[in-house]
């Protein structure tokens, strides 16, 4: 049984006061391991698909969960995490994270602790360490969403030391087990590393992993394309867009405008606005197929509706 490290005695005394009885799934088979939900956020955002915390915690008691105090739910989650339930560890980390207020997701329907209230329990650095410890405990219990959160925090140095090599290995394993966001993140990082080797500048500063030191830019681009291919197959809209981009200009493999257009379309259907924008341009210019100005305008409008701001000002 894995025990999480509790940092604040006062924090824990509050957490364990609750007498509310909530049942978690007790068997490994009952705990969701892979997250197959559609997700299309930018790959540099901390991104596990948004989901209803209460539904995961209460399972068959969803309606009751909607009226429960978020802190009371957290009390049960911490107890169950200490009892070896990976889903509970994830729930613990997510609820504290929502209370801290730095979660970066497209949509988040989770109950949250008032930020002022949770700030009274601990300083932010301590809470960030507690969040990371919760995700690490969940990951050790083979809970995939916990591992995804942990990998991002290891990569960025949130709540503990920065360890990009360990994050890289974790992303790789998660991708092989069907986690679309990890595939996309791997592809994105490899693409950035390759571009840095070529002297390109980007809006995100990524220190090169030691695992990339002896690899050529061409090899990194090729592997990036492979990971974007997997991410797209797992229905990640941003992965489909980046795959299309690489197919369109021949980066990391053969140039294939027709496939590029298909993947822009897939990205758009999955809710990734940049994919709609790219598809609009393809229809306007005839890239990868016939030109169609009506469809070009339609997809430009769709890109704007999906929140891609440049499309809203396109002429």
Q: pLDDT tens digits for the chain (315 residues)? A: 333 333 333 332 333 333 333 445 433 333 333 333 333 445 555 443 333 433 443 443 334 444 456 667 777 888 888 889 999 899 889 888 876 544 443 344 454 555 555 555 567 788 888 899 999 999 999 999 999 999 999 999 999 999 988 998 999 999 999 999 999 999 998 998 888 887 665 444 444 444 566 789 899 999 999 999 999 999 999 999 999 999 999 999 999 999 999 999 999 999 999 999 999 999 999 999 999 999 999 999 999 999 999 999 876
Rounded to 5 degrees, φ, ψ at 37 are -65, 150
pLDDT score for 99: 67
Of 164, 191, 153, 161, which Cα lies nearest the Cα of 47? 153
Helices (H), the chain: 9-15, 53-58, 62-65, 70-82, 86-100, 115-121, 124-140, 144-156, 164-176, 180-197, 217-233, 237-249, 257-269, 273-285, 293-305, 309-312
What own/partner pairs with CB < 8 Å and gap ≥ 24 does 117-123 have? 117/71, 121/8, 121/10, 121/11, 121/14, 122/7, 122/8, 122/11
Rounded CA gap, 247 and 226, in Å? 11
Rounded CA gap, 303 and 222, in Å? 28
Contact criterion met (CB below 8 Å) for 264 and 275? yes
Q: Which domains does the chain have, with CATH numbers?
A: 1-133 (no CATH), 163-255 (no CATH), 257-315 (1.25.40.10)
pTM (predicted TM-score): 0.73
pLDDT score for 16: 30
pLDDT score for 115: 52
What is the CB-side half-sphere exposure of residue 66 using CA atoms within 13 A?
4
pLDDT score for 68: 54
Rounded CA gap, 187 and 172, in Å? 10
Rounded CA gap, 97 and 293, in Å? 45
pLDDT score for 148: 93
Two tokens, residue 140: 């050790």
Residue with token string 């339609």: 298
């Amino acid at each position: 049984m894995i025990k999480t490290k509790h940092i604040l005695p006062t924090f824990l005394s509050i957490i364990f006061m609750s007498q509310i009885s909530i049942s978690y799934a007790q068997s490994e088979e009952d705990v969701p391991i892979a997250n197959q939900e559609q997700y299309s956020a930018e790959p540099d955002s901390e991104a596990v698909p948004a989901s209803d915390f209460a539904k995961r915690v209460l399972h068959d008691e969803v309606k009751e969960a909607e009226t429960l105090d978020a802190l009371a739910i957290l009390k049960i989650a911490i107890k169950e995490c200490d009892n070896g339930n990976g889903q509970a560890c994830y729930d613990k980390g997510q609820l504290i994270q929502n209370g801290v207020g730095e979660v970066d997701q497209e949509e988040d329907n989770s109950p949250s602790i008032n930020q002022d209230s949770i700030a009274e329990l601990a300083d932010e650095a301590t809470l960030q360490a507690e969040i990371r410890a919760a995700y690490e405990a969940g990951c050790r219990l083979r809970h995939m969403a916990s591992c995804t959160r942990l990998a991002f925090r290891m990569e960025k140095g949130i709540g503990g030391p920065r360890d990009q090599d360990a994050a890289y290995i974790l992303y790789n394993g998660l991708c092989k087990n069907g986690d679309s966001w990890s595939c996309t993140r791997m592809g994105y990082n490899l693409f950035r590393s390759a571009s840095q080797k070529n002297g390109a500048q980007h809006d995100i500063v990524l220190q090169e992993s030691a695992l990339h030191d002896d690899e050529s830019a061409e090899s990194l681009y090729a592997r990036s394309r492979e990971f974007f291919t997997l991410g797209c197959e797992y229905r990640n809209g941003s992965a489909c867009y980046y795959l299309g981009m690489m197919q369109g200009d021949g980066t990391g493999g053969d140039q294939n405008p027709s496939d590029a257009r298909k993947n822009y379309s897939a990205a758009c259907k999955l809710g990734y606005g940049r994919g709609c924008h790219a598809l609009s341009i393809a229809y306007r210019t005839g890239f990868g197929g016939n030109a169609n100005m009506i469809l070009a305008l339609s997809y430009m409008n769709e890109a704007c509706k999906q929140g891609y701001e440049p499309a809203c000002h396109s002429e």
